[in-house]
A and B are shown apart, each in its own frame.
Chain A
């Protein structure tokens, strides 16, 4: 059983950003990805904290990249989805799609 209920909305969004970025998923890129796709401003701190938390919860794994000069000789930390996160995202998509089926018209009508 996947533990969707363990994921908050923002955690969900961060996981999807990591999915989109595949090999290039590090904090700054994740934040840019979310901002460009959603048009929402996202605080830098919350991205770091959420990445860290998702790693603690076992949804993400991370590795250090090579140090570069432009970063003062510091490495980037790249994130990737663990199978658990993939399963959770699939489950969430299925659940939401099922719930959305036929709901669009009603939502329009309710306006």
Chain B
């Protein structure tokens, strides 16, 4: 053989370097000859197979060598050109984009500002939602921790506080949990810390000993509670927060074993909590919850919160099912107080976040809509701008740029705009977050992660992500639409009088329709929230809030352990307050309207046997001082108010609210009947009926309530119940004067009493609706942004159309069209776009606003009146935006238009 088979030559040519081919071919031929030598005919196939095998081995080795060696070394010529040209191209496109933007500063400024608003609002909202809803809770394996609650369907409570006896039964009998603990915020939420410096109110929480075990928290210093410390009498030990330890005790490492005074009781400090310990009420002191035997046995009074850690190998559903079985048994065992009650559990975060989750998600949706509108807006701007670059793009295509190449260039320009917009958006977000932190209602202070809300790495990454996605969203339509230019048509087309391609026109209309539709959805949400809020603040309060000042008070049990002392304190206090100038009335109550709290007890009516299986009757128990109704301005419906003569020594009496009479004495007169609350034999005669007030919030209907005179001992809600009260005074003074009246009266009666915050009643009402107000303000602000953007978009498109059709309109007017007809034509075109946008928007709003039903009050999410109103409003904004360009069209000079 003198030469290799041609196919084999070709294989070598692909892989072996040129200068090696000749000697290698020679070697292969030589080897082949050796194999054939003396083998005769039979050796030939083997020899050929050997030849091929050798050649393929060689080819493989060289191919692999090339692959392997080329990577770290400079790439071979062809590849290197391609690779570096991609980067070159991107850099070139970006630089070109920047140049184009600098040449059109107005466009650049508007586009960047619009995007900065959209991206900034989204980044801020993302930062907020991320901190509250998505960042992990600060507990190890927090997904195993659940919050427990008692479900009482006939009271419309799905997750209420728990009765002590029920909790202790659950804790004793359940097997699904590795630990379970109850907690309770002390009635005034705080202890008065005395001794060692200025007295100070410190937030506190009372917990059963396993509380920290449930949370997976170990004290940083000292020890955890011991099981026996929930026994009444052994509970005088305390864990301090890291903050309190540093602030008050200078981070003294020898703090363990020292004593502190809380509410005149001496507590031994047994430890300090780690700095990362967090709980919604932000306690500075954690002390054992040691209920008296009387209180431990309460099954009709609900005031405990509870948490539990689900045991290993147990699913949350199994745990829930076990609790359901346990509570069903308790319902059977105690039908009088527990029928229909059931244990319920939910993830810890749900307990912390509650209703706020839905509000936040609605806001997140609203803010995303604003970004979409901003995108559509910038896309229409881009389209208009691209139309001006028609020639440039066509020439690029003509000299060989592929469509992909042109799209790539336009997309890179969009990315430049979006990234600059995103960077500016970070500033907007920082501002928005600072603003949000400033106006947060107090109810939000207990949200997880709320103190960490800010621009962290995630938020910055989110802003970058929003920018990139935004560039895609607003860049792709103009890029595709304008790269699709009919090449020849554009190049041969006369510049003057040219109209944009039909495709670009359609895209532009579609974008405006999108903006209108998105705006309408936002507008409907804002309108629904606005109407809800308006209905809410018009709910009759049932009392006169003007001129009322309130102050929370807690009498320490150590010194006010007898009922008579509490009565004497209140009498002495009011004797001083009433004589102060300007004060008309003064009163005390255990539960101010709209503040919430759960003091419901079973209601027994004398001579009325409970029908078996019937829902137990319940009423909210409120202890009030004699002058309470007059002070608040709650009207008397029938009977009488309490008087000075309703004392411990006189017959026990009660006053019902109208809701109780409606529910339990329909068509009857309760006056003169006797009732007992929380017990079978604590009889009190009904002496009056008063008007309803809302206990839990304006959006919750008044529930049955029974008022009891403070002077008559009532212990069925625990012995501490009567010592926690709110003082209310009605006076013509301003709040500061009232505050000093209350403080000086308090300090003259009991100088050691801590003074809580003094607030106007209007503030109490305002606080109760603050979350709704915040929702409303944010949504209205976003809607306003959306309306402005949409109006601007519509204005831009109509201006563009007028500019494009100048010659056509000129011809029409030259042929006799009146100004009126031109105006009609322009408005007609705008109206068609608006009708489409509003139509799609209404359909979308009907589908989407249903998800906000829990945020609404007194209004149906599908209320047709709302949709008519917002459609009209949006149409008006649209027409106003169109009016200027349309009137410009009527002023076109036919001669000038034709000449140009």
Where the two chains meet, the residues of A that have a C-beta atom closer than 8 Å to any C-beta of B are: 26-28, 43-46, 48-49, 52-53, 64, 67-77
Q: How far is the CB of A101 from chain B (nearest CB, A)?
A: 36
Interface contact A46-B61, CB-CB below 8 Å:
yes
Q: For the complex, what is the distance from the CA of A75 to the CA of B22, rounded to whole Å?
A: 7
Q: State whether the Cβ of B20 lies closer than 8 Å to any Cβ in chain A.
A: yes
Fill in one digit per residue for B1-12: 1 if any A CB lies within 8 Å of its CB, else 0.
Answer: 111100000000
- List of B residues within 8 angstroms of A45 by Cβ: 57-62
The verdict on A49 contacting B61 (CB below 8 Å), with A28-B31, A72-B2 known, is yes
Interface contact B60-A76, CB-CB below 8 Å:
no
- List of A residues within 8 angstroms of B59 by Cβ: 45
The verdict on A48 contacting B26 (CB below 8 Å), with A53-B65, A70-B33, A72-B1 known, is no
Interface contact B30-A71, CB-CB below 8 Å:
yes
Interface contact B26-A52, CB-CB below 8 Å:
no
Q: How far is the CB of B43 from chain A (nearest CB, A)?
A: 17
- List of B residues within 8 angstroms of A26 by Cβ: 23, 27
Interface centre among A45, A46, A72 (most CB of B within 10 A): A45
Q: How far is the CB of B468 from chain A (nearest CB, A)?
A: 44
Q: State whether the Cβ of B17 lies closer than 8 Å to any Cβ in chain A.
A: yes
Q: How far is the CB of B317 from chain A (nearest CB, A)?
A: 61
Q: For the complex, what is the distance from the CA of A67 to the CA of B24, rounded to whole Å?
A: 13
Where the two chains meet, the residues of B that have a C-beta atom closer than 8 Å to any C-beta of A are: 1-4, 16-17, 20, 22-27, 29-31, 33, 54, 57-62, 65, 69
Q: For the complex, what is the distance from the CA of A72 to the CA of B23, rounded to whole Å?
A: 11
Interface contact A71-B29, CB-CB below 8 Å:
yes
Q: How far is the CB of B60 from chain A (nearest CB, A)?
A: 6
The verdict on A74 contacting B61 (CB below 8 Å), with A44-B54, A52-B20 known, is no
Interface contact A72-B25, CB-CB below 8 Å:
yes
- List of A residues within 8 angstroms of B65 by Cβ: 49, 52-53
- List of B residues within 8 angstroms of A64 by Cβ: 22-23
Q: How far is the CB of A49 from chain B (nearest CB, A)?
A: 5
Q: For the complex, what is the distance from the CA of A67 to the CA of B2, rounded to whole Å?
A: 12
- Please pick, from A49, A67, A77, the residue contacting B62 in the complex, using a CB distance under 8 A: A49
The verdict on A74 contacting B25 (CB below 8 Å), with A45-B62, A48-B61 known, is yes
Q: For the complex, what is the distance from the CA of A62 to the CA of B33, rounded to whole Å?
A: 25
Q: For the complex, what is the distance from the CA of A71 to the CA of B60, rounded to whole Å?
A: 23
- List of B residues within 8 angstroms of A72 by Cβ: 1-4, 25-26, 29
- List of A residues within 8 angstroms of B2 by Cβ: 69, 72-73
Q: How far is the CB of B49 from chain A (nearest CB, A)?
A: 14
Interface contact B33-A75, CB-CB below 8 Å:
no
Interface contact A52-B58, CB-CB below 8 Å:
no
Ordered by A's residue number, 26 sampled pairs between the chains whose C-beta atoms are within 8 Å are A26-B27, A28-B31, A43-B57, A45-B58, A45-B61, A48-B58, A48-B61, A52-B17, A68-B26, A69-B2, A70-B29, A71-B26, A71-B29, A71-B30, A72-B3, A72-B29, A74-B22, A74-B23, A74-B25, A74-B26, A75-B22, A75-B26, A76-B26, A76-B27, A77-B20, A77-B22
Q: How far is the CB of A29 from chain B (nearest CB, A)?
A: 10
Interface contact A48-B62, CB-CB below 8 Å:
yes
**Considering only CB atoms, which chain A residue lies closest to B29 in the complex?**
A72
- List of B residues within 8 angstroms of A70 by Cβ: 29-30, 33
Interface contact A28-B20, CB-CB below 8 Å:
no
Interface contact A27-B24, CB-CB below 8 Å:
yes
Q: For the complex, what is the distance from the CA of A52 to the CA of B69, rounded to whole Å?
A: 12
- List of A residues within 8 angstroms of B62 by Cβ: 45, 48-49
- Please pick, from A44, A48, A74, A77, the residue contacting B29 in the complex, using a CB distance under 8 A: A74
- Which 7 A-B pairs have CB atoms at the shortest separation, nearest pair first? A45-B61, A74-B26, A77-B23, A71-B26, A72-B2, A72-B29, A45-B57
Interface contact B58-A44, CB-CB below 8 Å:
yes
- List of B residues within 8 angstroms of A75 by Cβ: 22-23, 26
Q: For the complex, what is the distance from the CA of A44 to the CA of B32, rounded to whole Å?
A: 14
Q: How far is the CB of A71 from chain B (nearest CB, A)?
A: 4
Q: How far is the CB of B74 from chain A (nearest CB, A)?
A: 13
Q: How far is the CB of B33 from chain A (nearest CB, A)?
A: 6
Q: How far is the CB of A3 from chain B (nearest CB, A)?
A: 16
**Considering only CB atoms, which chain B residue lies closest to A31 in the complex?**
B27
- List of A residues within 8 angstroms of B24 by Cβ: 27, 48
**Considering only CB atoms, which chain A residue lies closest to B20 in the complex?**
A52
Q: For the complex, what is the distance from the CA of A43 to the CA of B58, rounded to whole Å?
A: 9
Q: How far is the CB of A11 from chain B (nearest CB, A)?
A: 13
- List of B residues within 8 angstroms of A69 by Cβ: 2
Interface centre among B22, B25, B54 (most CB of A within 10 A): B22
Interface centre among A53, A71, A73 (most CB of B within 10 A): A71
Q: For the complex, what is the distance from the CA of A72 to the CA of B29, rounded to whole Å?
A: 7
Q: How far is the CB of A16 from chain B (nearest CB, A)?
A: 20
**Considering only CB atoms, which chain A residue lies closest to B21 in the complex?**
A74
Interface contact A27-B57, CB-CB below 8 Å:
no
- List of B residues within 8 angstroms of A74 by Cβ: 22-23, 25-26, 29
Q: How far is the CB of A21 from chain B (nearest CB, A)?
A: 14
Q: For the complex, what is the distance from the CA of A68 to the CA of B26, rounded to whole Å?
A: 9
Q: How far is the CB of B293 from chain A (nearest CB, A)?
A: 78
- List of B residues within 8 angstroms of A28 by Cβ: 27, 30-31
Q: For the complex, what is the distance from the CA of A27 to the CA of B61, rounded to whole Å?
A: 14
Q: For the complex, what is the distance from the CA of A26 to the CA of B30, rounded to whole Å?
A: 12
**Considering only CB atoms, which chain B residue lies closest to A27 in the complex?**
B27
- List of A residues within 8 angstroms of B58 by Cβ: 44-45, 48
Interface centre among A49, A68, A75 (most CB of B within 10 A): A49
Q: For the complex, what is the distance from the CA of A71 to the CA of B2, rounded to whole Å?
A: 7
**Considering only CB atoms, which chain B residue lies closest to A65 in the complex?**
B23
- List of A residues within 8 angstroms of B22 by Cβ: 64, 74-75, 77
Q: For the complex, what is the distance from the CA of A27 to the CA of B57, rounded to whole Å?
A: 14
Q: For the complex, what is the distance from the CA of A70 to the CA of B32, rounded to whole Å?
A: 10
Q: For the complex, what is the distance from the CA of A68 to the CA of B30, rounded to whole Å?
A: 10
- List of B residues within 8 angstroms of A48 by Cβ: 16, 20, 24, 58, 61-62
**Considering only CB atoms, which chain B residue lies closest to A78 in the complex?**
B23
**Considering only CB atoms, which chain B residue lies closest to A69 in the complex?**
B2
Interface centre among B27, B33, B61 (most CB of A within 10 A): B27
Q: How far is the CB of A40 from chain B (nearest CB, A)?
A: 16
Q: How far is the CB of A34 from chain B (nearest CB, A)?
A: 15
- List of A residues within 8 angstroms of B17 by Cβ: 52
Q: How far is the CB of A61 from chain B (nearest CB, A)?
A: 13
- List of A residues within 8 angstroms of B1 by Cβ: 72
- List of B residues within 8 angstroms of A46 by Cβ: 61
- List of A residues within 8 angstroms of B57 by Cβ: 43-45
Q: For the complex, what is the distance from the CA of A43 to the CA of B26, rounded to whole Å?
A: 18
Q: For the complex, what is the distance from the CA of A70 to the CA of B4, rounded to whole Å?
A: 13
Interface contact B54-A27, CB-CB below 8 Å:
no
Q: For the complex, what is the distance from the CA of A12 to the CA of B33, rounded to whole Å?
A: 31
Q: How far is the CB of A14 from chain B (nearest CB, A)?
A: 13
Q: For the complex, what is the distance from the CA of A69 to the CA of B61, rounded to whole Å?
A: 28
Q: For the complex, what is the distance from the CA of A23 to the CA of B2, rounded to whole Å?
A: 25
Q: How far is the CB of B48 from chain A (nearest CB, A)?
A: 15
Q: How far is the CB of B14 from chain A (nearest CB, A)?
A: 14
- List of B residues within 8 angstroms of A43 by Cβ: 57, 61
Q: How far is the CB of B58 from chain A (nearest CB, A)?
A: 5
Q: For the complex, what is the distance from the CA of A44 to the CA of B27, rounded to whole Å?
A: 11
The verdict on A27 contacting B23 (CB below 8 Å), with A45-B58, A48-B62, A52-B17 known, is yes
**Considering only CB atoms, which chain B residue lies closest to A64 in the complex?**
B23
**Considering only CB atoms, which chain A residue lies closest to B30 in the complex?**
A71
**Considering only CB atoms, which chain A residue lies closest to B69 in the complex?**
A53
